[in-house]
Structure 1
């Protein structure tokens, strides 16, 4: 049997959002009954639920499900994690990369869980500054590491498509706890971020 990807959506929520998107299409001067737009409200309703699914997910539970005892106390980095989120000010996307590091304190976490944590917080209406801190705080509270670090680099469509319309601007945010507040450790982390890619 061939692989089949299925997606589930709350039908009541889908209908409410569908009505709202139909109204939006009408208010901007389009005809929602036009052939190309007939199914757009439903597609948009499902897309919005997908893009905000983080509200129904528990990042701490994800991390806690894959903690393993390990006597390792050096920096662990997962870098270039794709980030796709929605700016809460204009409901427009921002996207880029997240880099996460932590220093284990008796336990390590399954590496795939770190990108999942990024997705939990990114799949909400966000600002990049809060997103950075939410990821960091989750790591610190759940893993209890000797230190944690998060850096996010992103492009914001609200700056590129409207407003100042600056196409090449990149916003970088960072947050650190524990050992990463020390200059030497932070510099080692930043040096590793800039090292050659695999």
Structure 2
């Protein structure tokens, strides 16, 4: 069942600002019931003032944070593909990443750096962050997220090569478990020309460089 519907959520109305989210009302009701039960089982009182709307809010937040299941990353890329005789590296770096670890359903967040070398086609630059979001807005592990972004670009654009580096902090490491507050996990994935040391080194230098 799709998560999209015609329900307006004006819970966050502030002067001059109306936030409108659209959700499937049946799905919201079902998830809210489960979260209501969770609150009781951990020892809270779902009937107290501060928690009255918490089950519904959490249900909506969860649907927002997992909206990637309803999106097709390849279709997003194909919607903005253009023929262009450009064969140098294209890099989009410092793309914000917000995802949830599938093992504990706790957030991990950081930045993604994406590069490709066109082979007759380029893609609208805004579509690169869009597909990062598509795969990040699912229950994930960082390793799979990295590979999914790489494979989507490679299989859709058929470039001469793709390079991906993702750097994230994982709350499942800092809030629980080993409780290491400053650890950062880095993953990378490459295809084609980026498998060559010289090309890969150029990419890594570009994402490390600061403008100005």
TM-score range, shorter chain: over 0.9
Structure 1 residue aligned with 2:132: 118
Structure 2: gaps of 5 or more residues: 1-15
Structure 2: how far apart are the matches of 1:195 and 1:95?
Answer: 21
Aligned twin of 1:156:
170
Q: Within the alignment, does 1:23 sit opposite 2:37 as a pair?
A: yes
1:36 aligns with 2:28: no
- Per-residue CA deviation, residues 17-63 of structure 1 (Å, 9 max, x unaligned), is 00010011000000000000000000000000000000000000000
**Per-residue deviation, residues 51-105 of structure 1 (Å, max 9, x unmatched):** 0000000000000000011110000000000000000000000000000000000
Map of 1:52 onto structure 2:
66
Aligned residues: 197
Q: CA deviation at 1:194?
A: 1.0
Q: Distance in 2 between matches of 1:12 and 1:132?
A: 33
Tell me, in whole angstroms, the C-alpha distance in 1 between the residues paired with 2:18 and 2:54: 23
When structure 1 is superposed on structure 2, of 2-11 and 31-40 the one drifting more is 2-11
Give the structure-2-normalised TM-score.
0.91
Cα deviation, residue 197, structure 1: 3.0
Give how far 1:192 is off.
0.7
2:13 counterpart residue number: none
Where do 5+ consecutive residues of structure 1 fail to align? Answer: none
SS of equivalent residue, structure 1 residue 19:
helix
Residue of structure 1 equivalent to 2:7: none
**Partners of 1:5 and 1:71 in 2: CA distance:** 42
Distance in 1 separating the partners of 2:137 and 2:108 = 11
CA deviation after TM superposition for structure 1 residue 195, in Å? 1.1
Aligned partner of 2:3 in structure 1 is: none
State the distance in 2 between where 1:75 and 1:188 align: 9
DSSP 3-state at the match of 2:191: strand
Provide the alpha-carbon RMSD of the alignment: 1.0
Q: Using structure 1 for the length normalisation, give the TM-score.
A: 0.98
Distance 1:53 1:18 in 2: 17
- In the aligned structure 2, how far is the partner of 1:84 from the partner of 1:40? 22
- 1:64-143 counterparts in 2 under 5 A? 64-143=78-157
Match of 1:188 among 186, 199, 202: 202
| CA deviation after TM superposition for structure 1 residue 164, in Å | 0.4
Shift of 1:3: 6.9
**What's the secondary structure of 1:154's corresponding residue?**
strand
